[in-house]
Structure 1
């Protein structure tokens, strides 16, 4: 008969892993917060909200009535495609009131006419 008692081993604390995760998240957010520093106190950035919108010269403007304009002159899909250079990227600048079906039809016509890609341009929102 043995008089030695078996040695009881204590289990590791599961809280240590949680502390490590919280610490790593803290470090991450500290670093992420320094990536985009503010311009400084008292500095007001330029506001371009009142400037008139000028479409790119190679964009096809689609009005609310369904009229196609390029450079201020009326055109059609075939005439617009003839002005594009390689790679043939068609840029559409639609009015807000244009029905989606009209826009999809125009994009399909440009693709069938030989446009390699169709890009729809929009206005960037105010932050």
Structure 2
């Protein structure tokens, strides 16, 4: 008598559904970004990301340019804000954003980079 493989297929199918339902899928970046390289051993972690394009455009969630600063009101006091800037963005541009971020209530800022 042959064993049926239907129960095994059912289990595999249920596991597939479970993993698809519980996986956290990140949305795509709003534009192409090539992050700067660094030798940092620990990657920056967080859920709130401010994107800065090579042209200097800002995107945070659905907000763009100067509207992004209003979006930081929902950010918790100790929650980090990750900055994902293109490597073509001048450091002075990022530095000029820091006082505006502080005025918007952001206290913890981390820069995302790619490791070598």
Provide the TM-score with structure 2 as the length reference.
0.51
Shifted more, 114-123 versus 75-84: the winner is 75-84
Q: 1:108 aligns with which of 95, 99, 102?
A: 99
CA offsets per residue over residues 76-112 of structure 1, 9 Å max, x none? 3422312312424221111110011111011221123
- Find out whether 1:62 has 2:69 as its counterpart: no
Paired residues, number: 73
Question: Which segments of 5 or more consecutive residues in structure 2 lack a partner in the other structure?
Answer: 1-27, 30-45
How far, CA to CA, are the matches of 1:80 and 1:119 in structure 2? 17
Tell me if the contact between 2:50 and 2:82 (Cα under 8 Å) persists in the aligned partners. yes
Give the match for residue 64 of structure 2.
Answer: 74
Distance 2:47 2:87 in 1: 20
Greater C-alpha Rg: 1
Give runs of ≥4 in structure 1 deviating > 4 Å: 54-57
Q: 1:110 to 1:73 in 2, by over 3 A?
A: closer
Partner of 1:89: 80
RCO higher in 1 or 2 (8 Å CA, sep ≥ 6)?
2
Structure 1: where are the runs of 5+ without partners?
1-53
In 1, the alpha carbon distance for the partners of 2:114 and 2:82 equals 13
